[in-house]
Amino acid sequence: MAPIRRLVLDVLKPHAPSKVELAREVASVSGVSGANALLLETDRDVENVRLVVEGDDIDVEAVEHRIVDLSGTVHSIDEVVAGEQMVDSRDIPQDWLPP
Amino acid sequence: MAPIRRLVLDVLKPHAPSKVELAREVASVSGVSGANALLLETDRDVENVRLVVEGDDIDVEAVEHRIVDLSGTVHSIDEVVAGEQMVDSRDIPQDWLPP
Amino acid sequence: MAPIRRLVLDVLKPHAPSKVELAREVASVSGVSGANALLLETDRDVENVRLVVEGDDIDVEAVEHRIVDLSGTVHSIDEVVAGEQMVDSRDIPQDWLPP
Amino acid sequence: MAPIRRLVLDVLKPHAPSKVELAREVASVSGVSGANALLLETDRDVENVRLVVEGDDIDVEAVEHRIVDLSGTVHSIDEVVAGEQMVDSRDIPQDWLPP
Amino acid sequence: MAPIRRLVLDVLKPHAPSKVELAREVASVSGVSGANALLLETDRDVENVRLVVEGDDIDVEAVEHRIVDLSGTVHSIDEVVAGEQMVDSRDIPQDWLPP
Amino acid sequence: MAPIRRLVLDVLKPHAPSKVELAREVASVSGVSGANALLLETDRDVENVRLVVEGDDIDVEAVEHRIVDLSGTVHSIDEVVAGEQMVDSRDIPQDWLPP
Amino acid sequence: MAPIRRLVLDVLKPHAPSKVELAREVASVSGVSGANALLLETDRDVENVRLVVEGDDIDVEAVEHRIVDLSGTVHSIDEVVAGEQMVDSRDIPQDWLPP
């Protein structure tokens, strides 16, 4: 089966453990070469984080377990790339036209 | 006949199987080197996904069958590239002028 | 005479034959190295496609015949590049100023 | 004297001869390595074309004569680059500020 | 554990010590190869600075202590990258759609 | 003293001599490797041109004299780069915020 | 201590000495490899200039003295980069969201 190369996750998490710990823990999962945690919105109790994970063969379940172990919830999977080669998404004309 | 190098598909699918499985399965089709599944919109029962498939000689029918096997429907084919060389689309002035 | 390197065509076509077949057929024309078919708008009976064709020495008449053979109509030629070297168009200040 | 490397011309022309012929003819002028003809606006009798010409030492008069021979008119010269080296124009803050 | 490669911090600080001293001091922390201090907003008594810190293995606690030693406060951690490889964040369609 | 590497000038000039002659003449000044003349606005008697001049060691006075010799006036100097190395300007947050 | 690699300064200065002299003088300061002076706004008596200074080890005090010697005033320091490596600032989602 083709390996997973990128995951973009919408994560909801309490303020502690920190985004530093989250990025560090996810970057240590098998098949992951790097993780980016970007703050989208912050609230009194929780914060909403976009987590981008890249690697040669990401263990998706292990990533999701690591997030849950750190008290986070995966709200949605926004982008997935699979295969021998990284493929980026494409804009199409419908994206820039008003509905 | 010239090989297909890129397909951009507008796919409607139930929440399960997941986009991870969809990208992985499509990236395993003959002639495909990578697949990107981007979430466009999500609903109670279905999700709308932009699927970008790239490769040296994509088996288009096999890609479409794999999507149907995973309970997805191809809503439209938004972009196709064929040939020895990848060619990107071009903006033209009519794109930035109001109608 | 200088060779044609790029053609951008505005094509109107019925839903069948598909854009996959259109791109594949045009990419197989003499002097063409690749073709990109982008869906601009879709209707009950027809679809409007931007077709970008690149190559070292495109046989323009053959491209147009191939489109007509597939039941398409060339609505307009939006961009043409000729010469030993590819040249892109340029923005000028009048483009960003309101009229 | 320094050679001309790029010309951007605003050209008005009848529908025939075509933009394909215009680009091909201009790309064949002495010192020209490529020509891009972009459709800006189309009317019943005429079309407005942005013509970008690049080369190591463009013969400007010959380019203008070739356009006139093909029944076109040079409305304005929008950009000129001269010298041993290609130089692009620059945005300045006044460009993005409202007047 | 995976090393930290980038930190983006929202810092509030008095006017003295200066941003020059802040950038210099943070760039001297263990594992840091460079620091960028960008002025976001300035007030009578304080200024709001975006601090981007990059390195092969940033000592996050030491960075935070250095900021506090210079009388600054870390308002929020806006982005964190961890792993063997730098990973940038990704735009997703929800970013360009109105809510 | 550090050499001048780029000049961006706002020039007002009559229609003749042409922008082709202006670019050619300025590109021939000592220390200049290329010149770009971009039409900003055109009037019955005069035209407003952005002139970008680049080189290893531009003779600024000679450039200004050449412009005056061609009946042009330097309205303002919009950008100057000096030094062994080309340095571009930077956007800062105040540029994208409304005042 | 880490060296300073880039300074972005908001400078107010009389019309004379010119921006050419300002850029040239600042580019000649110890540790500076290039300087860019961009006109932001012009008034009857003064002009507002964005000055970007880059180098391997900029002598910040000497830059500021040189500006003052030329009758300029440093209004604010908008960006500072320090370290062995150049680091650019980052956009974050809060930048593109309305407050």
DSSP secondary-structure letter at C71? Answer: T
DSSP secondary-structure letter at G71? Answer: T
Helix (H) or strand (E) holding A87: none
Query: Which chain G positions have a beta carbon within 8 Å of D92's beta carbon?
Result: 38-39
Average pLDDT over residues A35-51: 96
- Give the gap in angstroms from C-alpha F86 to the nearest C-alpha of chain E: 20
Average pLDDT over residues C32-43: 96
Calculate the average pLDDT of chain E.
94
Q: G62-76 pLDDT, tens per residue?
A: 999 999 999 999 999
Amino acid at E27: A
Res. C1: pLDDT tops 90:
no
Beta-carbon contacts of residue F50 (< 8 Å; ≥ 6 apart) = D89, D90, D92, F8, F9, F10, F11, F36, F37, F38, F40, F78
Supply the pLDDT for residue D97: 53
Q: D28-57 pLDDT, tens per residue?
A: 999 999 999 999 999 999 999 999 999 999
A59 CA to centre of own chain: 12
Q: Are C54 and B87 in contact (CB under 8 A)?
A: yes
Average pLDDT over residues C59-83: 98
Which chains pack against C, by 3+ Cβ pairs within 8 A?
A, B, D, F
> Predicted confidence band at B93 (pLDDT cuts at 50, 70, 90)?
confident
Q: Which residue has the tokens 């009519």?
A: B94
Q: Find the residue in B nearest to E90 (Cα).
A: B38
Supply the pLDDT for residue G97: 53
- Give the gap in angstroms from C-alpha A5 to the nearest C-alpha of chain G: 24
- Gap between the Cα atoms of A60 and A6, Å rounded: 10
Query: Which chain A positions have a beta carbon within 8 Å of C40's beta carbon?
Result: 93
Amino acid at C27: A
- Give the gap in angstroms from C-alpha C2 to the nearest C-alpha of chain A: 32
> Predicted confidence band at B96 (pLDDT cuts at 50, 70, 90)?
low
> Predicted confidence band at A96 (pLDDT cuts at 50, 70, 90)?
low
Which one of E9, E24, E52, E81 would you mutate to disrupt binding with G, by most G Cβ within 10 Å of its Cβ?
A: E24
Instruction: State phi, psi for F53 to the nearest 5 degrees.
Output: -120, 130
CATH for C4-85? 3.30.70.1340
Supply the pLDDT for residue C97: 53
Supply the pLDDT for residue F51: 98
Q: Which residue has the tokens 């010298």?
A: D83
Res. A98: pLDDT tops 80:
no
Residues of chain G contacting F, Cβ within 8 Å: 8, 18-20, 22-28, 32-39, 42, 50, 52-54, 78-79, 95
> Predicted confidence band at A14 (pLDDT cuts at 50, 70, 90)?
very high
Q: Which residue has the tokens 């293995």?
A: E57
Average pLDDT over residues F44-68: 97
Average pLDDT over residues B45-74: 98
Which chains pack against E, by 3+ Cβ pairs within 8 A?
A, B, F, G
Average pLDDT over residues D77-92: 96
Q: At D98, is the secondary structure helix, strand, or coil?
A: coil
Q: Find the residue in F nearest to E50 (Cα).
A: F93
Which chains pack against G, by 3+ Cβ pairs within 8 A?
A, D, E, F
Res. C45: pLDDT tops 90:
yes
Count of all residues that appear for chain B in the document:
99
- Give the gap in angstroms from C-alpha D1 to the nearest C-alpha of chain C: 24
Q: Which CATH architecture has domain G4-84?
A: 2-Layer Sandwich (3.30)
Query: Which chain C positions have a beta carbon within 8 Å of F39's beta carbon?
Result: 92-93
Average pLDDT over residues B49-76: 98
Lowest mean pLDDT across A56-60, C23-27, E35-39, G88-92: G88-92
Interchain contact, F81 vs G19, CB within 8 Å: no
Supply the pLDDT for residue B1: 85
Average pLDDT over residues G86-99: 77
Query: Which chain A positions have a beta carbon within 8 Å of G93's beta carbon?
Result: 38-40
Calculate the average pLDDT of chain G.
94
Supply the pLDDT for residue E99: 46
**What is the percent of chain D where pLDDT is above 90?**
90
Sign of CA dihedral E17, E20, E22, E24: negative
Calculate the average pLDDT of chain C.
94
- Give the gap in angstroms from C-alpha E35 to the nearest C-alpha of chain G: 5
Res. A99: pLDDT tops 50:
no
Of residues E93 and D51, more confidence is placed in D51
Res. C99: pLDDT tops 50:
no
Q: Are G3 and G83 in contact (CB under 8 A)?
A: yes
Query: Which chain D positions have a beta carbon within 8 Å of B93's beta carbon?
Result: 38-41
> Two tokens at C67?
């489109």
> Predicted confidence band at F35 (pLDDT cuts at 50, 70, 90)?
very high
Chains A and B touch (3+ CB pairs under 8 A): yes
Res. E94: pLDDT tops 80:
no
